[in-house]
Amino acid sequence: MCGITGWVDWTLDLRDRGPVITAMTRTQAPRGPDDEGTWLSRHAALGHRRLAVIDIEGGRQPMLRPGPDGRPVVITFSGEIYNFAELRAELRAAGRSFGTRSDTEVLLAAYLEWGEDLVARLNGMYAFAIWDEREQRLLLVRDRLGIKPLYYARLGGGIVFGSEPKALLAHPEMNAEVDLEGLAELLAVPRARTPGHAVYRGMREVKPGRLVVADASGVRERRYWQVEARPHTGDFRATTEEVRSLLEDIVERQIVADVPVGTLLSGGIDSSAITALAAGRFAGELTSYSVSVPAPARPGSDLWRPSPDEPYAQLVAERLGIKHSVVQVGTDGLVEDIELGLRARDLPGWGDLDISMHHLFRGVREDCTVALSGESADEMFGGYTWQTDERYVGHTSFPWMYGRRQPEVLLREEVRRAIRPEEYEADRYRDALAEVPRLAGEDPGARRRREVFHLGLTRWLGALLDRKDRMSMAVGLEVRVPFADHRLAEYLFNVPADLKTGRGAEGGGMEKALLRRACADLLPEEIVDRPKSAYPASRDPGYVETLKGLVLERAGDPNAPLFDVLDREKVRAAVTSGLDALPGPITARTSAIGLSYLLELDRWLSRVRVVA
C-alpha cells in the first residue's frame, strides 16, 4: 500500500519540474512512510511514497523496465496483487525474467507481455499508473470494486493524478474549487456519491473496474469488469460450500506479507470469520484489535448496537488462541480530532465514525503494518435493513434513503433552486439502475433484489471502502478486505436473496445466514448466532452537547462559510429541536454524525472556492 502521483504534459518539458512532483508526492507521505521516489522524463513526472509490505529491499518505486526498443516503461503502484506468484510463474514461462520478489515488477512485466489486457488477469486491490515512454502514453488502472482510490484531472496540455485529491491540489495550477454539482454530491446523495465524481471541480476519480488511457490525442476510459447476471442452480448447502471454498482461498492469499499482520475483530460474524480463517493459515503471531467509544447513557439503549463488542471479540480470540487488544477512544479525543478525518478525506466525512477508526488504526499500527478487515460482508451477504425490509427494498430511490432526510433540507432556498436536489437524486438513481445487468425471464421480485445488490455494490460499498482507505493510510496501515474480492462479488450477485438468509433452509432466515453457516465450524455458537451490531458510534450525551455548542457557535458567526450554502435559521432550528437524527452523510440514530458533518463542512468551505 502506498501513495502515488504524477503529472504528464505532451506540450511541456517536465525535466526541470522536479520541485512540483516532489511537492505532490510529499502530500502522500502518511500513505507511504518508508520511502519516497520520483522519476522525470521530457513529458512525464511520476512520484511514489512507499509503505513496504512485500520485498522490503527490492520493491522501491517508481520502478522501470526497458521496453523492446530500450526506452523505459515506468510504474507507480499502490496496493497488493494477491495472485502475483502465479503471474510471475506464467511470465517466466513466457521468457520474462525478474530481479526482485515484488508484485510491482510483476505488474510491469505483465504490461510488457499483455499490454492493457493485463487487467483481466489481476486479483487484488490496486491503483496504478504506467507511463510508456515508447508510446508516450499514460495508463491509469483501478481495481474492480474500488478498494484503492485514484484521482485525475485534465491540466493544460496533459493530466495530473494521485491517490488522493490533496496530491492534485498540490500542483500550482490546480485550484480547490467546488461547483453546484459537487455540492449536490455532498448534500443530496452524501451516503453514496456517484462513481467517478470527485466533488472538486475539474477532478475525476477513476471508476472501479475501469482503466483510463491518456495520450496527446485525449483521455479515454474503458470498463474492464462488471458482474454478470447468470442463473444460480445450487441449493443452500452447495452454495455454503462454495462460499467457504472461496473465502479460504481469498484469506490464504491475503495473509501473505513480509511484515507483521493483524486482524480487526469486533466479535461479529464478519470479522470473526476472517480472523478464524486467518488464524488457521497464518504461520506467525496474529493479534486482533477492536475499538471502544463512549457508551450510551443506558445500557442496551442503542438499537444499532444491542450488545457490546468486547466480550464477543475476547471469546473469539480465546477460542483461536490469539492475543486481543482494545483501543479506547474517549469523548475528548472525538472532539479534539475532528480535523483528523477532514484532513484524511480531503472532504467532509463521518465525524466520530472516522475519528474512532483513525484511533483504532493508529493503535494497530503500533504493532502491525497489515490488518485484515471484515468490511464488505454486509454488502455481499445481505446484512442491512435496506436489503431485507420490503419498505426499503420497494423504495423508489436508493433503498437506504427510505424514510431518511438528507442534508439538502438545510440548504438556502436560492442554493436549493440552483442545485435541484430532488431532481439530482432522481437522475443519479436512474443512472445507477441503468447499469444493472439483467437476467431474462426473472420475476419482478428477484429482479428488484438483484437491483438492490448492485446498488449496494456500486454506490454504497464505495463510501465504506473510501473511509477505510483514508483512515488507515493516514497512519500508514494497510487494511485488506477479503470480502471485497471480485470473485465473491461475481458469485453472490447471482445467489437469490432467500438463499443468503437461509429462508426455508437450515440457515433459519437470519441475516447473513449463508456466511454464518459457511463458517459455523470455526467459531463459538454465540458468535454464529449473534445479531448484527453496527460499528460503534458515540452515544455519549456529553459529546453530543459539545457538538451542538460548537455548531451553534458557528451559527452565531456572521462570517461562517457554512451559511453561504446552508440556511442559518434552518440549521439553528434543527440543532435545538431535539431531533434524534439531524440529517447527516449516513443513516445514523444519533445527531452526532449530522452535527460533526456541519462542522467539517464549515471548515472545508473555508478552504475551497464555490463557483457556479
Is the Cβ–Cβ distance between 289 and 371 less than 8 Å? yes
Helix axes 461-473, 338-345, angle to 10 degrees: 110
Neighbours of 26 (CB within 10 A): 16
Are 513 and 500 a contacting pair, CB within 8 Å? yes
d(CA 510, CA 532): 10
- Spatial contact of 481 and 373, defined as CB atoms under 8 Å apart: yes
Q: How many CB atoms lie within 10 A of CB 546?
A: 17
Q: Where are the beta strands (DSSP E) in 542-596?
A: none
Q: Give CA 301 to chain center in angstroms.
A: 30
Q: Is 2 a catalytic residue?
A: yes
> How far apart are the C-alpha atoms of 612 and 609, rounded to whole Å?
10
In this structure, which long-range contacts are made by residues 82-90, counting pairs with CB atoms below 8 Å and at least 24 apart in sequence?
82/123, 82/124, 82/250, 82/253, 82/254, 82/256, 83/121, 83/122, 83/123, 83/124, 83/253, 84/54, 84/124, 87/121, 87/122
Contact yes or no for 348/597 (Cβ under 8 A): yes
From the candidates 2, 130, 342, 380, give the one annotated as an active-site residue.
Answer: 2
Bridge partners, 570 (sequence order) = none
Q: How far apart are CA 80 and CA 1, in angstroms?
A: 7
Q: Is 104 helix (H, G, I), strand (E, B) or coil?
A: helix
Report which of 81, 402, 451 is spatially closest to residue 256, judged by C-alpha positions.
81
Residue whose C-alpha cell reads 516503461 in the numeric block: 73
Listed in sequence order, the DSSP H helices in 150-255 are 165-169, 180-187, 236-254
* Beta-carbon contacts of residue 347 (< 8 Å; ≥ 6 apart): 165, 186, 199, 604
Question: How does strand 218-223 pair with strand 210-215?
Answer: antiparallel
Question: Which residues are annotated as catalytic?
Answer: 2
